[in-house]
Amino acid sequence: MKFQPDHLEGVNAISRHEPQRLWVNATEWRHSVLVPVRGEPQSWPVTRFEDLAEEHFRQLLALKPELVIFGSGPRLRFAKPALLRPLIQAGIGVETMDTPAACRTYNVLASEGRVVTAALLLEAT
């Protein structure tokens, strides 16, 4: 489904999401991705929720977000608190939702000028 315009001035926007892919600034992604509000989206090397590890969340620290929107895949699942430790210790907020909701929420927060990063899990089939 298409969410909103393909471009938000000066920030990354998630323009479309489907179960196995999504588009950031009109670029298609077929695997998990980190989407900072500014700067280049990055591949996120996790293919299944069950494979999440602390190092996956530690990768977000380099993007310096105030808030991380974690899209847990096609349904809402919460990562173990120990996995989020690097973010919590750095004072970075984490909100968890299914990936479609995370895409929508990220766009709203980005359009408001928030320093947000989306960590979006697209599970391999």
Model pLDDT for residues 50-78, shown as the tens digit of each residue: 999 999 999 999 999 999 999 999 999 99
Enter the pTM of the model: 0.91
Strands of the sheet containing 93-97, edge to edge, are 42-43, 33-36, 116-120, 67-71, 93-97
**Mean of pLDDT values over 100-117:** 96
CATH class of residue range 14-120: alpha beta
| pLDDT number for residue 6 | 47
Model pLDDT for residues 26-42, shown as the tens digit of each residue: 899 999 999 999 999 99
Domain ranges of the chain: 14-120
